[in-house]
Amino acid sequence: MPETTINVIKVFTIGFFSFLFAFSLTPTLTHFLYKYRLWKKKPKEKTIDGNNANYFCKFHSKKEIKTPRLGGVLIWVSVVFLALFFYILSFFSDIFWIEKLNFLSRNQTWLPLFTLFSASLVGLIDDLLQVLPVSIEKGKRRFFEGLHLRYRLFLVSLIGAIGAYWFYFRLGEDMIHIPGYGEVYLGFFYFPFFIIVMLAVYSGGVIDGLDGLSGGTFMSIFTAYAAIALFQGQINLAAFCLAVVGSILAFLWFNIPPARFYMGETGVIGLTAALTVVAFLTNAIAVLPIIGILLLLTSVSVILQLLSKKIWKKKIFLSAPLHQHFEAKGWPHYKITMRYWIVGAVAAILGVLIHLLG
């Protein structure tokens, strides 16, 4: 059997096993989330600039306090488990396929796996602070709003700094590839550029606002990068990406309307941070705005809304991020979600094509 065929089988097998494991884990996770009522006890009432979130409250208040968060645990736990499982199993077996399924390698998957795990733990802390009460006085309990945005941004920046250090000082990376142009030398600016990109990608994480929306979005993005990695011979990295896709598919099965749980920050921070690392590892950072167009539009819509309200004292959108604008205009949530899926899939195909041609 040709080596290329073997590698393709490996990548898709990892994705398949990831789906099966995540899917089998879901009943236990769901039981735990509902048993301990791990959802917000108070709906969001304010926007990021402190104003009343009128449209959000109108469409989401009831569901937000009855649907658990932390669904993203399903994604990163499955990927980390599979990576460690096949890595350990490869030491105890001489069977070719068992050894081949090990996709944990220092030059391709250690960094994205570490990033996924560490960033997801940051998100997990934020989610738990929103759903678990703490005693502040005898006989009184209080629910926090999670980690303040400035702390989340600091922690994401810290994770980005570790990644930037690894790329710049350990791997010696100081250039990025621009399709149709070639290599662009960044020098030391590569270090802050890496952190800025990670923060920018994370800002698009507010797309986790409608049932099935974030899952479908990240599925298209990681599938695109799996294809890029596979074409470039980064087989283990492609397997990592499809492991993420497989677990997202299992998550999505239970997140489509009506959602059994939400992704939460433990999924959003983990996936956006890992995505940044994958984009740099494949040297396909230039097409990230295309492949991740939905994240970009979501982030830009929030920024434009805030700037417009601050400078001109009026709103551009009925509500931000963008999917809430469409919701406020009367679009059914399923129409928004499925059209986002279509746009995301087409953008992913286009981004892969541009990178391969460039």
pLDDT tens-place string over residues 248-276: 999 999 998 889 999 999 999 999 999 99
The pTM score is 0.94
Specify the pLDDT at position 203. 94
Overall average pLDDT of the 32-43 stretch: 85
Helices (H), the chain: 3-35, 54-64, 73-89, 96-100, 110-131, 149-165, 190-203, 213-231, 235-255, 264-281, 288-291, 293-311, 322-328, 333-357
The whole-angstrom distance between residue 355's C-alpha and the CA centroid of its chain comes to 21
Q: Is the pLDDT of residue 29 over 80?
A: yes
Q: Is the pLDDT of residue 358 over 90?
A: no
Is residue 264 within 8 Å of 71, Cβ to Cβ? Answer: yes
Specify the pLDDT at position 98. 82
Share of the chain above pLDDT 90, in %: 73
Specify the pLDDT at position 57. 57
The model's confidence at residue 201, banded by pLDDT at 50, 70 and 90, is: very high
| Both structure tokens of 170 | 């350990």
Lowest-pLDDT choice from 161-165, 268-272, 296-300, 328-332: 328-332
Q: Is the pLDDT of residue 177 over 80?
A: yes
Provide the mean pLDDT of the chain: 90
Map out the domains of the chain as residue ranges. 3-357
Specify the pLDDT at position 135. 46
